[in-house]
Chain A
Amino acid sequence: MWVLLLLPFVGLLWVPFYNFQDPALFGFPFFYWYQLAWVPITSILIWIVYRSRTPDDETR
């Protein structure tokens, strides 16, 4: 599951994936809405990893 944490690095740091303007969404060029979309996606990925791990003993 921890490998999910690498996805935002791949998705955002490999710039040729998203360095163009079309297709636009709600007036936002692709470059912008693609990167903004990674914000909730990253939250969800971290949450999935958080749920899947065994809680450590000192955790409250």
Chain B
Amino acid sequence: MTADIDWVALTVFIFFFALVTVMGFFAARWKSGPVSEHLDEWGLGGRQFGTWITWFLVGGDFYTAYTVIAVPALVYAVGAYGFFALPYTVVVYPFVFAVMPLLWKVAHAKGHVTAADVVQGTYGSRGLELAVATTGIVATMPYIALQLIGMGVVIKAIGLTGELPIVAAFVILALYTYSSGLRAPALIAFVKDIMIYIVVLVAVVVVPAKLGGYGAVFSAAGDAFTAKGGATGLALKSPQMLAYASLALGSALAAFMYPHTLTGIFASKSADTIRKNAILLPAYTLLLGLIALLGYMAYAAHIKVASNNDVVPALFKELFPSWFAGFAFSAIAIGALVPAAVMSIGAANLFTRNIWKSYVNPDISHAGEASVAKIASLVVKVGALAFITFLPTQYALDLQLLGGLWILQTFPALVFGLFTRWFRAEGLLLGWAAGILWGSWTAWSNGLKPLATLSIGDTNYVFYVGLGALILNVAFAVVGTLAVGLISPRSVTVRS
């Protein structure tokens, strides 16, 4: 990478960054309530977001900046296999439609702010609450670090070097999240999403036009994969098929277990808001599918990059004038701010409600909860920043991968209780532990790859570790529940 600064792009970038900074601080007064007096205000924006705000907010924090960088990078590197993000972000919505309104109703009726609150409310088990809360916090930290990496890639493409720009951007983000809470990313999400839509729509029309159409794009990519030896290509090889489907399903089941996506759910005004969003949010998936194809366009444009993550910035710099490249990079960088803010808020809510309130100060006031959460959000962000500044980037990537596997293990504890009270807390805790241990050990022993292999007879089945761990988790939860039922039969008083 050259150290030459692209001044036009940088000016556009600074303009948009300044715009969202002002919006971030202004957001405290938007649809305002007493932001510092209640965690519902700071941490959930007052539980009042309607269909459109929720659409922008969840769209903004589910489809992260890192997605815009990493999905095309993966498609560029491995072809069809990298496209699993598409079926993943389609099948997630029938699930959201069927399950999340039920979760919202429980949370709304009982005043729950986090997933661990819901679990504690359902099972009355401090152990299970702590397991869900720590899993959420630990899985979110590397995800925030990833947003910083996404931002770093575009800042580097503009020509700025060193850690200072990213530290500055993050300090600003931390300050307005501190003062405005969830309202800041909700307001900024409008700008971010509109910018991303413009960038992608322009890119998917203009880029193929410059490169000779989609037919030419696909055939250039196909030729490149054949030249590389044909281990991957424009369609999946047969051993890849189960891996592709299980990654899509496992990721979809994990997606709304994360604190940042659940924060978007709990902040909605009504269960119907969530149902309408399950219908409307797939618009972002269409966008994601088109973004993924940028990876193939890079072959048609003869882009050569040192690191796969540079594919998208390099493509934009090659094909667009500086001002539009600057606009695109601002969109991606701002795209990192929204999820980073919501993630830190989600993690802070977990810390406040399920660790601080449960173990340190059970008598904490509503205003006290808000101030603990505000400070926790700062700590979480500083932690993520220190993580990518002092440790190799690869650690963040590896941990995020493990994070997806871990968060998926909270699925039975959080979701099953919405449909049945048959499971017992001890069984769910046992299942959680079994899933986490087997999943982590398997991923670790495969060199931190998300895939496991099962040999039955002569056939090898390659599948997503997280999904395998979830199946094990459920099996242990069933066995554990049966065992506990034998030792201590259920008491007559049923908690409701």
Contact = CB atoms under 8 A, between A and B. Distances in A.
Contacts of B98: 2, 5
12 contacts: A12-B245, A13-B87, A15-B244, A15-B245, A19-B235, A32-B293, A39-B90, A42-B93, A46-B93, A50-B278, A55-B272, A59-B270
Interface of A: 2, 5-6, 8-9, 12-16, 19-21, 24, 26-29, 31-32, 35-36, 38-40, 42-43, 45-47, 49-50, 55-56, 58-60
Contacts of A19: 235-236, 241
A50 B90 contact: no
B275 interface: yes
Given A28-B214, A58-B270, A12 B236 contact: no
A14 B245 contact: yes
Nearest to B109: A58
A21 to B, nearest CB: 6
Contacts of A42: 90-91, 93-94, 282
Interface of B: 80, 83, 86-87, 90-91, 93-94, 97-98, 105, 208, 213-218, 234-236, 241-242, 244-245, 248-249, 269-272, 275-276, 278-280, 282-283, 285-286, 289, 293
Contacts of B270: 58-60
A9 B214 contact: no
Nearest to B105: A58
A22 B4 CA distance: 45
A57 to B, nearest CB: 11
A56 B80 CA distance: 42
Residue from B97, B244, B286 having most chain A Cβ neighbours under 10 A? B97
A46 B241 contact: no
Contacts of B286: 36, 39-40
B236 A40 contact: no
A5 B87 contact: no
Contacts of A36: 86, 286, 289
Given A13-B248, A21-B235, A42-B282, A27 B216 contact: yes
Given A12-B248, A24-B215, A46-B93, A56 B83 contact: no
Nearest to B219: A27
Nearest to A24: B215
B94 to A, nearest CB: 4
A59 to B, nearest CB: 5
Residue from A5, A13, A40 having most chain B Cβ neighbours under 10 A? A13
A46 B285 CA distance: 15
B235 A38 contact: no
Given A6-B94, A8-B90, A35-B86, A29 B234 contact: yes
A27 B204 CA distance: 13
A59 B234 contact: no
Residue from A26, A46, A56 having most chain B Cβ neighbours under 10 A? A46
A27 B94 contact: no
B234 A35 contact: no
Nearest to A15: B241
A35 B87 CA distance: 7
B235 A39 contact: no
Nearest to A13: B245
Contacts of B86: 35-36, 39
Contact of B94 (A5, A15, A26): A5
A27 B219 CA distance: 9
Contact of A43 (B213, B282, B293): B282
Residue from B235, B244, B280 having most chain A Cβ neighbours under 10 A? B235
B321 to A, nearest CB: 26
Contacts of A32: 83, 218, 289, 293
B166 to A, nearest CB: 33
